[in-house]
Amino acid sequence: MAEQPIGTLWGVSAGPGDPELLTLKAARLLQTCPVVAFPAGRQGQPGVAQTIIQPLLSSHQIQLPLAFPFVQDPGTLAAAWELAAGAVWAHLKTGQDVVFATEGDASFYSTFTYLAHTLQNHHPEAQVATVPGVCSPLAAAAQLGMPLTILQQRLLVLPALYAIADLEAALDQADVVVLMKVASVYADVWKILQRRDLLAQSRVIVRATQADEQIYLDLRDRPDLDLPYFSLMIIDCDRASSAPQATQRPDFRLG
């Protein structure tokens, strides 16, 4: 008797918020896979990835919300990844493919990475594939109407909860710096940018491409912005750059 084939775990990039930024491959998999997983939202509300993909799903598909706590404790996080991998494996081992939809790009600071690694640590035979998509810095630059980088400019991206020393070094080394999830350290960042005279060349984008998007084009008079979790900052450190300035489009929601 032939062994039961094992399904494939697909990491599907859902993009930053606008459903039209899904790739054709991502949309096909979301519509055809029997099991669709995604990070569970907080306080009973749907998460960003679930909201993006929901119009594509049908009633015959199994929807599998997986809990990933917003904490830094390694033990708590590892336990959550273990539970999520176990829930996914329960379907894969029966031969069902599972799509895991993640906000942004599945290879760019994504929860999918931890899920896939945990799954393969316990089940090396598991097949994992990734569908690339639009990550938030690229979406933010597009919403600003500006290139993220040009010519020989050096780009440096810092994830959340970076040390201030790391930011100082980044500003010295790069021409363009992107700060992911900047909300928790915004006040300290603002002071550093003020000292370096970079506030006029820094922009904050909140929930890029989503309906409640906000954009702040000049931070010189904004030392106390109260920002939500999904906020990023783009800093142009290259004063000699010939890059065009951000243009304000009629549909911008400016803060």
* pLDDT one-digit tens code per residue, 170-186: 999 999 999 999 999 99
Q: Assess whether 186 and 206 both reside in one domain.
A: yes
Q: What is the mean pLDDT of residues 33-58?
A: 93
Count: domains in the chain: 2
- Rounded to two decimals, what is the model's pTM? 0.87
Question: Is residue 244 included in any domain, yes or no?
Answer: no
CB 149 within 8 A of CB 31: no
Residues 125 and 144 in one domain: no
Tokens of 84: 């999520």
Res 83: pLDDT: 96
Give the amino acid at 213. Answer: E
Tell whether 15 and 111 lie within a shared domain: yes
Structure confidence by residue, pLDDT tens digits, 58-82: 999 999 999 988 777 888 889 999 9
Per-residue confidence band for 117, with pLDDT thresholds at 50, 70 and 90 = very high
- Position 239 scores a pLDDT of 59
Query: In this predicted structure, what is the pLDDT of residue 65?
Result: 95
pLDDT on residue 43:
79
- What is residue 165's predicted lDDT score, i.e. its pLDDT? 84
What CATH number is attached to the domain comprising 191? 3.30.950.10
Do residues 209 and 145 share a domain? yes
Q: Do residues 109 and 140 share a domain? A: no
pLDDT category at 255 given cuts 50, 70, 90 is very low
Residues 116, 185, single domain; the answer is: no
To the nearest 10 degrees (0 to 180), the angle between helices 186-195 and 164-173 is: 40
My answer on whether 122 and 55 are in the same domain is yes
| CA distances to 51, 136, 147, 190, 209 from 151, in Å | 37, 21, 11, 28, 26
The number of beta carbons lying within 10 Å of the beta carbon of residue 73 is 9
CA angle, 237 then 242 then 246, to 5°: 75
Compute the distance between CA of residue 205 and CA of residue 214 in angstroms, rounded to an integer.
Answer: 6
| Adjacent-strand bridge partners of 214 | 206
8-15 and 98-103: which strand pairing?
parallel
Instruction: Mark whether 122 and 173 lie in a shared domain.
Output: no
93 occurs within a structural domain: yes
Q: Are residues 58 and 115 in the same domain?
A: yes
Q: Is the pLDDT of residue 204 over 60?
A: yes
Q: Of the ranges 27-36, 58-67, 99-108, 232-241, which one carries the lowest mean pLDDT score?
A: 232-241
Asked if residue 251 is part of any domain, the answer here is no
Rounded distance, CA 220 to CA 123, Å?
A: 52
Judgement on whether residues 121 and 147 belong to the same structural domain of the protein: no
Q: Which domain holds residue 186?
A: 136-236
Does residue 243 belong to any structural domain of this protein?
no
51 — pLDDT class (breaks 50, 70, 90): very high
